[in-house]
Amino acid sequence: MIELIPAIDMIDGKCVRLTKGDYSTMKVYNEDPVEIAKEFEAYGIRRLHLVDLDGAKSKHVVNYRMLDRIASRTSLIIDFGGGIKSDEDLVIAFENGAQMVTVGSIASQKPDLFLKWLKQYGSEKIILGADSKDGRISVNGWQEESSQELLPYLKEYVKQGVRKVLCTDVHKDGMLQGPSIDLYRQILEAQPNLYLMASGGVSSLDDIVELDKAGLPAVIIGKALYEGRFTLKELTALLP
């Protein structure tokens, strides 16, 4: 069964969602992300994808205190992303309770530093954030596009030891119009051993079932849950 990973995106310590990464579309869903994390845990969720949107914009980790609060008040396995640009940022994330980190922009812009982290912390702790827009890698909170094509980019990093990838189709993010299943199939055909986390576009439980049928190991769930397209009870009924 596909692993269900709800997301909490943070701005100013609040749980928010954006559409296509556009900060002007921000909608606040809860003033205290700890409440949401505790609710996830109460329904049997084990993993959490925690995103520091302030960090992604500021290019350094900002919401580490909220990471610490969630990590200290739940037993969720947290992967943390957004604004991890330096050794110091990485240490801050791990010291405040992240078991894994998702690193995107640095992998694209400073591959030597990313590979140093991959070697130092291992492929279980370092997740490659490979966010895609029109088949190319997007960086810095999706504010910038690179010239790097997604599939060759992933192929090279898998050669270097990457085992976990979180891939968001930016065009799908927050749109509630279904995930990019064909894109994920292409990735898994090229890299069948990859632990690939699909992100963006999930609008219904049927979307999750389809991703499971396509062989996706995991899915990130965000706006559909917050907008009431399905309940936590309905979602966790899919758990084995």
Residues recognised as catalytic = 9, 131
Q: Confirm if 218 and 3 have CB atoms less than 8 A apart.
A: yes
What's phi and psi for 220, nearest 5 deg?
A: -90, 130
